[in-house]
Structure 1
Amino acid sequence: MYVIITYDVNVKRVSKVCKKLKEHLTWTQNSVFEGEITKTQFMKCRQEVERILDTSEDSIYYYIVANPKHLKKEFVGHEKGDFDLFF
């Protein structure tokens, strides 16, 4: 499965969330990660990240792409990640 994860967390937890997501996905923008991941890896990643969050002030969005062939990505500027999937 292909996922895109965005988050908005308190500055006290940003580095922990970023570090945890880097273990599973590619960092593409500040507070945005994406990549191919198995369902089991996704569940593990999600549980680990959600343990760090304070849901009274933090938020995280999970975008699960059923068929990444239907995903079109366009960008302007310097791309951080390596995305051979998109042409």
Structure 2
Amino acid sequence: MYVVLVYDISLEDKGAKRWRSVFKICKKYLSHIQNSVFEGEISKVQLTKMQNELKPHIDKNLDSVIVFKSRQEKWLEKDFWGKDNDMTDFML
């Protein structure tokens, strides 16, 4: 499946440390495309594994993570408004 993952980590209560952990885990599974946004192909098993790795670093009262799922990237239409910073275009 193709996913777009976005997160918002509060800086309260050691938020910078949580943010770094969330960033590193997401980068293991997906391509970093913009600030707190990642995207890429991922299997259901990998998605579950990533979710399990992220759980200890997400404060349910302060943070949010949203995952948009699609069967394939071709079913997802992307429009860039402003600077076109699609970092996935450089892949061969």
By the TM > 0.5 criterion, same fold?
yes
Structure 1: runs of 5 or more not aligned: none
Counterpart of 2:40, as a letter, is: G
TM-score in terms of structure 1 length: 0.85
TM-score normalised to structure 2 length: 0.81
Between the aligned partners of 2:34 and 2:67, the Cα distance in structure 1 is 15
Equivalent position of 1:9 in the other structure: 9
Deviation at residue 72 of structure 1 after TM alignment: 1.1
CA distance in 2, matches of 1:47, 1:20: 10
Matched length: 85
- 1:20 alignment partner in structure 2: 25
| Offset, 1:74 | 1.8
Out of 38, 47, 70, the position equivalent to 1:33 is: 38
Does residue 55 (structure 1) correspond to residue 60 (structure 2)? The answer is yes
Please tell me the root mean square deviation across aligned C-alpha atoms, in Å: 1.8
**Does the 8 Å CA contact 2:6/2:37 hold for their aligned counterparts?**
yes
